[in-house]
Amino acid sequence: MNQLGPTKKIVLLCLLLLLGSCSGLDKQQRTQPNIVFISIDDLNDWVGFLGYEQVKTPHMDRLAARGFSFSNAHCPAPVCGPSRTAILSGMRPVTSGIYDNNIKFSRDLPQVVSLPEHFKNNGYQVYGIGKLFHGSTANVPTTAFDAYGGKLGSAAPFTSSDLQISKQNPYHEISKLGKTFKLPLNGMPADRYWNRANTFDWGPIDLPDSLFSDRQSVDWSIDKLHKIKDQPFLLTLGFERPHQPLFNPKRFHDMYLLNEVELPKTPADDLRDLPQRAKQLALYPKTSGKHETVVKYGQWENAVASYLASVSFVDELVGDLVKALETLKLKNNTWIVLWSDHGWHLGEKSHWGKATGWYRSTRVPFLIIPPAGSTDYKKAIEIKNMVNLLDLAPTMADIAGIPKKTSWEGRSLMPLLREEASDWEEVSLTTFSIGSHTISTPDWQLISYFDGSFELYDLVNDPNQFKNIAYLPESKIVLEQLKKHIPEEPHWNYFIRHGDYKILIPKNGSIKIFDQMLEGKNDKDMAGSLPGLIRKIERYIEQYSPQEKKFIIAALE
């Protein structure tokens, strides 16, 4: 009988260990779940599973019945660029320095590994299409995906050229498939006349679904599901609706009759008790148009109906994607994560669009749906704890069983899903500009402006935020408790308001000055053209040495 020598025994043992490790790796790859990651652009909390009765969202509602819905979810920032950057980088705006839409991920955060790339680096096949990163396709990091299907734009079936303001004098006729459309469909002149395109528009488009960007994105995603050979995979799909313009196939607009549309509640004196900066935010058409224009042209009902139509269009497409997972027998090993980047105003606080600190801008729909075959999690659970979309990255890493990056600032939500969270901090931070933040809890919302002014709302007794109680004596204790959660923003020494000017004084570098009401240029640093004002500010700081970091200067000498 042949005996193995010592050397051969060692070689054989190494081979057995190697085979065992490979087998273990194969088993891990087979058992790691797939994840479908769905983002929806500008979707506020007008969805059925959050209790909004006017909208029809049966597919998202059925998803909620299969898993977890978060009724107190808020965004990291109420603007597309900084919110998506926070979610995909895992870092708050105050950490990354990304506060506005002037963002290109690979240019501005060259050392940061995005969430999709982190999955790719940890053994996942990663696919993406639509609006995930902010901006055009050129803004998507080349290392983020194994395959990226591009981004057509929410104006489709029209192009951005079709929407040019210079062509709308007052209308621009467009022909598609033998049909003529007069843009703008709503007949309103552009309040943001300084922009190239007029996107503050809405109405039905009687053209095939296949011409709309979100339909194309879902079709691409379903085709990719058919072709995926290797698992686990991360499929990321970014819907571009209900971002304006609110153009949808006609049948979705037919679902919402104008004479039956319920408008948001807006008391005539709703801005009366707001600080000056809040009134500016309410009335300035930073991201959409003016409320007075919508009312003047009799378009409020049409706008609300068109927004609801956009939501229902997206809902149907979500249903198509879920059906594909079921048809391809992927549902038993696939998690679904669905979220919106921030909310959207439709006349509340006399505002249209986003970029505010109010509840309508900060609260978002958020679903996490475990695999259909899982018995480890309960179904149809409404989680009322405070969560933030910044929590997405660590939660998804835990779902996938891959490492979490130390730079991520969110909290994994797995303790909530497993009902193991005993000391969850019930607070969420939203940053809506440099120096301005919202602190949300289940009962309260504190809005802190860069000039040191505040709003405080009792969400239990005043869910519509009609009464600012920040300056009532009985609010002092709550106000001081919530103020502790306002971030320091250590890169800045002072935040000052002087008239309409926002003045930022950094620890290092030059003073920055912004005219908050200068139409079309309120985000442009004007310091270079205001040397006299800079000298006055410097003298003021030198003379008074302010102890407060945020304040208002009524007059400068």
Is 75 marked active-site? no
DSSP secondary structure letter of residue 197: B
Instruction: Give the count of beta carbons closer than 10 Å to the beta carbon of residue 333.
Output: 18
DSSP assignment of 136-182 equals: SGGGS-TTS-SEE-----TTTTS-TTTTBGGG-SS-EEEEETTEEEE
- Label the pairing between strands 125-130 and 233-239: parallel
Q: Which of 59, 74, 75, 80 is catalytic?
A: 80
- Angstrom distance (rounded) from CA 28 to CA 363: 37
Measuring CA to CA, which residue among 234, 226, 155 is closest to residue 196?
A: 155
DSSP secondary structure letter of residue 265: P
- Angstrom distance (rounded) from CA 512 to CA 43: 33
Identify any residues that bridge with 51 across adjacent strands, giving them in sequence order.
Answer: none
- Angstrom distance (rounded) from CA 197 to CA 165: 5
Q: Where are the beta strands (DSSP E) in 288-379?
A: 334-340, 345-346, 352-353, 366-369
The answer to whether 514 touches 525, Cβ cutoff 8 Å, is: yes
- Angstrom distance (rounded) from CA 89 to CA 201: 32
Measuring CA to CA, which residue among 545, 523, 536 is closest to residue 100?
A: 523
Within 13 Å of residue 156, how many CA atoms lie on the same side as its CB? Answer: 18
Measuring CA to CA, which residue among 552, 556, 364 is closest to residue 449?
A: 552
Give me the sheet containing 428-433, strands edge to edge.
428-433, 436-440, 444-448, 454-458
Q: Where are the alpha helices (DSSP H) in 4-135?
A: 6-31, 58-66, 80-89, 93-96, 105-108, 115-121
The answer to whether 216 touches 314, Cβ cutoff 8 Å, is: no
Q: How far is CA 114 from the centre of its chain?
A: 16
The amino acid at residue 187 is G
Is 80 marked active-site? yes
- Label the pairing between strands 387-388 and 179-183: unpaired
Q: Is 489 left (phi over 0), alpha (psi -120 to 50) or beta?
A: left
Q: Which of 59, 74, 118, 134 is catalytic?
A: 134
Catalytic residues: 80, 134
